[in-house]
Amino acid sequence: MRPTTTAPLEVTRDEGRRRAIEELSDPLYGEHEPSIIDRFLAWVEEWLSSLLTAGEGFLPGQVWAALLLLVVVIAVVVLIVYLRPTRNRRLDALVHEGTVRSATDHRASADRHETAGEFAQAVTERLRAISVDLEDRTIIAPRAGRTATELADEAAGVLPGEAEGLREGARIFNDVVYGDRVATPESARTLRELDVRLSAARPVVTGDETAAEAR
């Protein structure tokens, strides 16, 4: 007996659309789709791989050594530029940091250092002699903690003819103390000649002071 065959049922258009929607809505279809995080990690991995491919001529150890050396060089430059005192930072050294002696003693010490070729010590001792001498002569008021620049500014107000020399002497002193300038025979001579001129200088009396003295 020949088996009977059943004719396939005809699926209408609406029925086909319904079945397709049901099939696609099955959660199993979404399980294999990569998430946003997965796609991002894949992109990072691809990017790193491209970098490694571009640097195939270098060994990993060489790359890290070069990076470490670069970091060390940058750190050294930063320390030199930003931590080392410079004139651009307007650092101002104190004239007296220890026991204040007489102007005569400071001058004698400056002379000894200059003769011995110790020009940095000669510069510092000479400006200290100038400071004490100006205070003793009441050109400037005695004050502890005065800096070289303050000394020059205050004395220049009373001895305007030596204003330029005073400020140059203060600059030399500051630079020598902070190591921005190597003291030379010329540096010591400049301070010594300034000391001689200041010893002979007399304060400038203004018109107001003259009128006050007359009264």
Question: At 161, which CATH number?
Answer: 1.20.120
**Domain assignment present for 152:** yes
**Domain assignment present for 42:** no
**Domain assignment present for 154:** yes
Mean pLDDT, residues 108-116: 97
DSSP string of the chain? -PPP-PPPPPPPHHHHHHHHHHHHT-GGGTTTS--HHHHHHHHHHHHHHHHHHHTTTS-HHHHHHHHHHHHHHHHHHHHHHHHS--GGGT---BS-SS----HHHHHHHHHHHHHTT-HHHHHHHHHHHHHHHHHHTTSS---TT-BHHHHHHHHHHH-GGGHHHHHHHHHHHHHHHHTSS---HHHHHHHHHHHHHHHH--PPPPHHHHHHHH-
Is pLDDT at 152 greater than 50 in this prediction? yes
**Domain assignment present for 50:** no
Number of domains forming the structure of the chain: 1
* Domain residue limits at 135: 103-205
**Domain assignment present for 133:** yes
**Domain assignment present for 164:** yes
**Domain assignment present for 58:** no
Q: What is the pLDDT of residues 99-109, one digit of tens each?
A: 889 999 999 99
**Domain assignment present for 30:** no
